[in-house]
A and B are shown apart, each in its own frame.
Chain A
Amino acid sequence: MTPLIAHLSTTVSAPQAPTWVRLTELGAAVLFILALKGLSSPKSARRGNLLGALGAGVATVVIFFYGTEYYGEGLSNLKGNLPFILLAITIGSLIGWIAAKRVQMTQMPQMVALFNGVGGGAAAVVSVVEFSAPTANESKAALAATVFTVLVGAVSFSGSILTFMKLQELMTSRPVVLPLGRYITSLAGIGTIAAAILLVVDPTNTLLYVLLGMSLLMGLLLVLPVGGADVPIVISLLNAFTGLSVAASGYVLGNTLLIVAGTLVGASGTLLTRMMAAAMGRPLTNTLFGAFTAKAITASGTTEDRPVKSASPDDVAIMLSYARKVIIVPGYGLAVAQAQNTIRELVELLSAKGIQVDYAIHPVAGRMPGHMNVLLAEANVPYDQLKEMDEINPEFAEADVALVVGANDVVNPAARDDKTAPIYGMPILNVDQAGQVVFLKRSMRPGFAGIENELLFDPKTSLLFGDAKETLTKVVSAVKGL
């Protein structure tokens, strides 16, 4: 095995950076903790994020001051690689900056998935390079950490890329279950772990590439059967994976800051994933492997032919204008149609008529938990009109009209009543208890999770077909004309 790096003493025996550099890194670690703390509360969230960015920036600068003993040939030199390193940082930063600035808020979840994926990829590559530069005193523990980074980083990379493709609708967002999928996944899992263990026992480059390939495959197999509304939970899980992978790479490199930062993300990410799964009312294992056991959802043709009651924008305008209490249920369809401003206009008109209007926000409305709050905040919808599920659910029985705009799964009574439904157990908004229900939909197509919604065929339900923005604009002018 030819070492890629001539001399690199790793982990526990790594030479230390100057004291001031290490103290600065301690400061960066504290900034990361404050960042996560800040991000947990609405008031301090933005400052928290900026503190995190400051910590990351500081850490990136001081790494160049690790000095002669660490780099072997000194700071100004870095084996003559400094210009290339700076160029690579600039390129990466520019790509990240532009992508983050350009992405539309509706496409944010897949952007986060993509960023997470490249981070996991970076951690894996760092460890591949590290692996190929063994030193005589390298411990098995360090080797295990290296192998762990490669495995988890690669899973995170390929899994995140596939998640991105699902959300970007470059492929179906439905669960994909391969024939014998459960066995293939189990076999691949066992094989990957076996390769990892063998690699620790007897490190060879060939086996490393085998492990890399199998880990990438594992990432795909893990995400393929996850569908619809569960995809965000997987992003969060892969995010935690990348964190752990980064922590392990910190152990390999003997870098405390990487250990702290990676572990913080790994731990908080795991907790966050569990909270998200809880919001969907199902354990995490169900999210990941549910598709293997769930009965195939047959979109039977019979339901398509059943009669539905459709309404015109004028009908809806009258219905709304003569109500006392209206609850709006915004969904992803609203955001896709860029109709947030139109719905705000409608709400303002109705409020001016003395009608009580509230927005009912399901925890996973949109494509990620909290996504809908972000999308509506973008359209200057006041906070106090947004009501969370537990707060608004008792009020549906008193509401005259529930207006569902581009949402489907989060109001599907099947989640409450039908034990065989794949979304059974997910808490829903009790729209079916309102006096009248109006759905603004593009078509009869089922929602993201691909499940038929019985509520659409209920006698008290009216459907207004069309693009959410167009139809809402018509409703607004009809309300004005009354």
Chain B
Amino acid sequence: MDAISLLTIFILSIFVGIEVVSKVSAVLHTPLMSGANAIHGVVLVGAILVTGQSDKYSLGFFLGLGAIVLAAINMVGGFVVTDRMLEMFKPKAPKKDEA
């Protein structure tokens, strides 16, 4: 894909990114930040790519594996902690003496 196409995707994504969160209420600022944080954990894909192309036991190999571990922590941890936050936003049935 040529550079202009990539640039086009980049610019359009900026507008989409701004548009989709423009109406978020203050209540959801924290979960939104946390969820967005998990999404950039997809850099895991990039880490897998570079590791898959590195010669075994080269410096790139070890750095790549390290990046995979870090990215996986970001991705999995991010989504799980966001889910824990949002679990509490469920509409509550009138059960009071649970906790």
Q: Which B1-58 residues have a C-beta within 8 angstroms of A?
A: 1-3, 6, 9-10, 13-18, 20-56, 58
Please report the C-alpha to C-alpha distance between residue A49 and residue B89 in the assembled complex, in whole angstroms: 13
The answer on a CB contact under 8 Å between A12 and B53 is no
Number of chain A interface residues as a range: 35 or more
Interface SS of chain B:
helix
Q: Which of A89, A276, A279 contacts B72 (CB 8 A)?
A: A89
With both beta carbons as reference points, the residue of chain B lying nearest to A95 in the complex is identified as B73
The answer on a CB contact under 8 Å between A53 and B74 is no
Q: Which of the listed residues B15, B87, B89 has the most CB atoms from chain A within 10 Å of its own CB?
A: B89
Which residues does chain A contribute within 8 Å of B17, judged by CB atoms? Answer: 36, 263-268, 271
On whether A89 and B68 interact (CB within 8 A), knowing A33-B20, A115-B73, the answer reads yes
With both beta carbons as reference points, the residue of chain A lying nearest to B59 in the complex is identified as A4
On whether A12 and B72 interact (CB within 8 A), knowing A64-B48, A122-B43, A258-B43, the answer reads no
On whether A84 and B80 interact (CB within 8 A), knowing A79-B56, A268-B36, A380-B92, the answer reads no
Q: Mark B74-85, 1 if CB is under 8 A from A, else 0.
A: 111111111111
Please report the C-alpha to C-alpha distance between residue A123 and residue B43 in the assembled complex, in whole angstroms: 6
On whether A100 and B84 interact (CB within 8 A), knowing A12-B2, A133-B60, A276-B29, the answer reads yes
Which residues does chain B contribute within 8 Å of A116, judged by CB atoms? Answer: 37, 40, 74
Q: Which of B43, B49, B78, B95 contacts A115 (CB 8 A)?
A: B78
Q: Which of the listed residues A63, A80, A133, A239 has the most CB atoms from chain B within 10 Å of its own CB?
A: A63
Q: Which of B48, B54, B55 contacts A60 (CB 8 A)?
A: B48
Please report the C-alpha to C-alpha distance between residue A378 and residue B54 in the assembled complex, in whole angstroms: 46
Please report the C-alpha to C-alpha distance between residue A378 and residue B90 in the assembled complex, in whole angstroms: 10
Please report the C-alpha to C-alpha distance between residue A368 and residue B88 in the assembled complex, in whole angstroms: 16
- Is A88 interfacial (CB-CB < 8 Å)? yes
Number of chain B interface residues as a range: 35 or more
Which residues does chain B contribute within 8 Å of A8, judged by CB atoms? Answer: 50, 53
Q: Which of the listed residues B61, B64, B83 has the most CB atoms from chain A within 10 Å of its own CB?
A: B64
- Is A40 interfacial (CB-CB < 8 Å)? yes
Please report the C-alpha to C-alpha distance between residue A45 and residue B89 in the assembled complex, in whole angstroms: 8
Q: Which of A72, A93, A369 contacts B53 (CB 8 A)?
A: A72
Which residues does chain A contribute within 8 Å of B99, judged by CB atoms? Answer: 341, 379-380
Which residues does chain B contribute within 8 Å of A261, judged by CB atoms? Answer: 39-40, 42
On whether A39 and B35 interact (CB within 8 A), knowing A6-B55, A79-B54, A256-B1, the answer reads yes
The answer on a CB contact under 8 Å between B84 and A271 is no
The answer on a CB contact under 8 Å between A253 and B46 is yes
Which residues does chain B contribute within 8 Å of A266, judged by CB atoms? Answer: 14, 17
With both beta carbons as reference points, the residue of chain A lying nearest to B75 in the complex is identified as A56
Rounded to whole Å, the gap between the CB of B71 and the closest CB of chain A is 4
The answer on a CB contact under 8 Å between B26 and A369 is yes
Q: Which of A37, A46, A251 contacts B90 (CB 8 A)?
A: A46
Binding site for A on B (CB under 8 A): 1-3, 6, 9-10, 13-18, 20-56, 58-61, 63-90, 92, 95-96, 98-99
